[in-house]
Amino acid sequence: MNNIATQRIKREFKEVIKSEELAKCSIKVDLIGDSYTELKGEIAGPPDTPYEGGTFFLEIKVPETYPFNPPKVRFMTKIWHPNISSVTGAICLDILKDQWAAAMTLRTVLLSLQALMAAAEPDDPQDAVVAKQYKEYPEIFAKTASHWTNVYAGGPNKNSEFDTKIQRLIDMGIERDQARGALSTYNWDLERATEQLFS
Amino acid sequence: MASYFDELHVEEDEMPTVRLERLTRETFRMLFDHDPARYGDIINFQNTPPASKSEIEKLKAPSFEELIDEQCRICLSQYQLNDKALNMPCNHIFHENCLKTWLEKSNFCPLCKFELKTDNEMYELYKQELKNRQSREDNIAQLHDSMFS
């Protein structure tokens, strides 16, 4: 791997990533093995959001051309958010694309992602279904996001109404994650979700 | 006018700058539809174009004192004796090699986004149009304020 990229990440680890400030903001970066090209990020769900209490893991791939090109970042933990794909974890965030600048660091990226979790941008969506729900049914969106946080990120809010509906679909032979996805997509309308799954 | 905005799917509550940028881009896209040859590589500005070579050559080296105990914010290493560095017009300093590599693909300061001129005519036109629209909006806002406050 290109020396500049490796040196840069090493310096980031020494100077930026280990700082106490990061612990306060509850973000973290860890190495995977000895390679500096693949890293694991961790973000605590911001307070007063449906993600509060959850821990979200990120896959970070550092290109050889880093820091002249942005790192490739993806949510490994499933999340219900307008700017993050509920299926692949792909992220729509300007600094990971055309607004990247060479002076930014992994710390900048994680803090920006935490900010994005606290304030979605539904007009520039990655997941159109989630964005539509966010705009049209904000209460259902909040409940759904909180439910996903509980199930996938260890959040505290169990939703027994949602669990019952998911169980109904499982009893019909649907796989659990698929059932949750369909119900989330159709605003927890069991009939419509069923229709879609069996059509 | 309403239909014009409807057609461009502009939301009422979009931030003024976001709206302006979108409108400008849409206008350019329309120009492109109208005359693809002339407005050839209508830029989707996925990445900003590189800085113009002549602009890069104009950049000056900072004095030795300015580098003492400072760090290049691109490679994050401290300046060593004999390191070559350059000063952006916004007064941000970077290693010469680091900055030049960056300006080969982008035209702005990695720290504050101050923009250098590019050789891309479309992009410069787009920027000018954005500026014009911004100043028109500002004038209207000022006029509005002077009339109603």
What is the residue-averaged pLDDT of chain B? 80
Is B108 at the interface with chain A, CB within 8 A?
yes
Contact status, residue B47 vs residue A69, Cβ threshold 8 Å: no
Q: Which domains does chain B have, with CATH numbers?
A: 47-135 (3.30.40.10)
Contact status, residue B64 vs residue B93, Cβ threshold 8 Å: no
Percent of chain A at pLDDT exceeding 70 = 94
For tokens 């970077």, what's the residue?
B94
In this predicted structure, the answer to whether residue A193 has a pLDDT above a threshold of 50 is yes
Comma-separated ranges of CATH 3.10.110.10 domains in chain A: 3-118
Give the residue from chain A lying closest to B18, CA to CA.
A123
Give the residue from chain B lying closest to A121, CA to CA.
B14
Residues of A in contact with B105 (CB under 8 A): 68-69
To 10 degrees, what angle do helices B121-148 and B16-34 make?
A: 130
pLDDT confidence tier of residue B1, bands split at 50, 70 and 90: very low
In this predicted structure, the answer to whether residue B15 has a pLDDT above a threshold of 80 is no
In this predicted structure, the answer to whether residue A143 has a pLDDT above a threshold of 50 is yes
Sequence-ordered list of residues with C-beta below 8 angstroms from that of A17, at least 6 positions apart, any chain: A29, A106, A107
Give the residue from chain A lying closest to B94, CA to CA.
A103
Domain A3-118 classified CATH 3.10.110.10? yes
pLDDT value for B44: 47
Residue B63 is given by DSSP the state P
Strand order in the sheet with A72-75: A27-32, A35-44, A55-61, A72-75
Distance of CA A184 to the CA centre of its chain: 16
Report d(CA B47, CA B102) in Å as an integer: 12
Is B48 at the interface with chain A, CB within 8 A?
yes
Residues of B in contact with A7 (CB under 8 A): 75, 77
Instruction: List the 112-141 stretch of A: residues with Cβ below 8 A of B.
Output: 123
Give φ, ψ of A34 to 5 degrees. Answer: -95, -10
In this predicted structure, the answer to whether residue A21 has a pLDDT above a threshold of 70 is no
Residues of A in contact with B77 (CB under 8 A): 7, 11
Q: Which residue has the higher pLDDT, A83 or B26?
A: A83
- What's the rounded mean pLDDT across residues A169-187? 96
- What's the rounded mean pLDDT across residues A182-194? 97
Residues of B in contact with A102 (CB under 8 A): 73-74, 98, 102, 106, 110
pLDDT value for B130: 78
Q: Nearest CA to B104 among B125, B118, B121, B83?
A: B118
Instruction: List the 9-38 stretch of B: residues with Cβ below 8 A of A.
Output: 11, 14, 18
B79-132 pLDDT, tens digit per residue, is 998 899 999 999 999 999 999 999 998 999 999 999 999 988 778 887 887 788
Give φ, ψ of A16 to 5 degrees. Answer: -105, -50
In this predicted structure, the answer to whether residue A126 has a pLDDT above a threshold of 70 is yes
SS3 content of chain A, % helix, strand, coil (to 5): 45, 15, 40
Is A97 at the interface with chain B, CB within 8 A?
yes
pLDDT value for B42: 45
Residues of A in contact with B51 (CB under 8 A): none
> From the list B14, B74, B101, which residue is nearest A123 (CB)?
B14
Q: Nearest CA to A41 among A52, A18, A55, A57?
A: A57
Is A90 at the interface with chain B, CB within 8 A?
no
- What's the rounded mean pLDDT across residues B12-37? 62
Q: What is the pTM of this model?
A: 0.81
The C-alpha of A95 sits at a distance from chain B's nearest C-alpha, in angstroms, of 11
Residues of A marked as catalytic: 92
Query: Can you spell out the DSSP letters for A37-95?
Result: EEEEEEEEPPTTSTTTT-EEEEEEE--TTTTTSPPEEEESS---BTTB-TTT-BB--GG
Q: Nearest CA to A165 among A140, A182, A143?
A: A182
Residues paired with B95 in a beta bridge: B85
The verdict on a CB contact (< 8 Å) between A68 and B102 is yes
